[in-house]
């Protein structure tokens, strides 16, 4: 039983790390649109029935328009995904990925609530990330729960 849990732990680390590496690479695949291209694209969805699509376009385009945030997020996903895959740094990778997987999950909760497949996928990523951090609680619990002297 203990061997099966260890194998599951390794598989989940590889799964989450691979997903983050893939997501990080995807952030560099397309060029950043110009502000006028964003406005043109957004104007096509300026009806009340397409408000959710407009919010997603403006949110992601806004992150890209900063000139740094989208790229920093991509680099963070790549680096932390690699840390997660490497045996000795898996805990640090899982810990640093926690706010990123939370953000990805909340993005889908608030901007794509009708997409159940995406909610389940991103929720699973977040739950896996939480489990990976909690599995190593013996390494960090003394930092959170101090015993009174």
Q: What is the mean pLDDT of the chain?
A: 90
99: left (phi over 0), alpha (psi -120 to 50) or beta: alpha
Q: Using CA atoms, how far apart are residues 83 and 135, in angstroms rounded to an integer?
A: 16
Q: Using CA atoms, how far apart are residues 22 and 121, in angstroms rounded to an integer?
A: 14
Q: Using CA atoms, how far apart are residues 84 and 59, in angstroms rounded to an integer?
A: 28
The pLDDT of residue 53 is: 84
- Checking if the pLDDT of 45 tops 90, the result is no
- Would you say the pTM of this structure is higher than 0.75? yes
- Checking if the pLDDT of 113 tops 70, the result is yes
- The secondary structure of the chain, three-state, reads CHHHHHHHHHHHHHHHHHHHHHHHHHCCCCCCCCHHHHHHHHHCCCCHHHHHHHHHHHHHHHHHHCCCHHHHHHHHHHHHHHHHHCHHHHHHHHHHHHHHHHHHHHHHHHHCCCCHHHHHHHHHHHHHHHHHHHHCHHHHHHHHCCCCC
The pLDDT of residue 1 is: 83
- Confidence label for 137 from pLDDT (cuts 50, 70 and 90): confident
Q: Taking residues 90-96, what's their average pLDDT?
A: 94
The pLDDT of residue 40 is: 87
- Give the range among 18-22, 23-27, 33-37 with minimum mean pLDDT: 33-37
- Checking if the pLDDT of 39 tops 80, the result is yes
Q: Taking residues 93-108, what's their average pLDDT?
A: 96
Q: Using CA atoms, how far apart are residues 101 and 4, in angstroms rounded to an integer?
A: 25
- Checking if the pLDDT of 130 tops 90, the result is yes
């Amino acid at each position: 039983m203990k061997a099966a849990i260890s194998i599951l732990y390794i598989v989940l680390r590889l799964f989450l790390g691979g997903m983050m590496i893939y997501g990080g690479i995807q952030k560099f695949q397309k060029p950043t649109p110009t502000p006028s291209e964003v406005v043109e694209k957004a104007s096509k969805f300026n009806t009340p029935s397409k408000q959710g699509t407009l919010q997603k376009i403006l949110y992601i385009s806004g992150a890209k328009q900063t000139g740094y945030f989208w790229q920093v997020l991509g680099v963070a996903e790549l680096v932390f995904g690699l840390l997660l895959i490497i045996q000795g740094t898996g805990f640090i990778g899982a810990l640093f990925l926690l706010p990123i997987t939370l953000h990805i999950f909340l993005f889908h909760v608030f901007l794509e609530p009708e997409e159940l497949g995406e909610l389940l996928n991103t929720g699973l990523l977040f739950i896996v990330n939480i489990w990976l951090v909690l599995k190593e609680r013996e390494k960090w619990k003394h930092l959170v729960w101090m015993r009174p002297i």
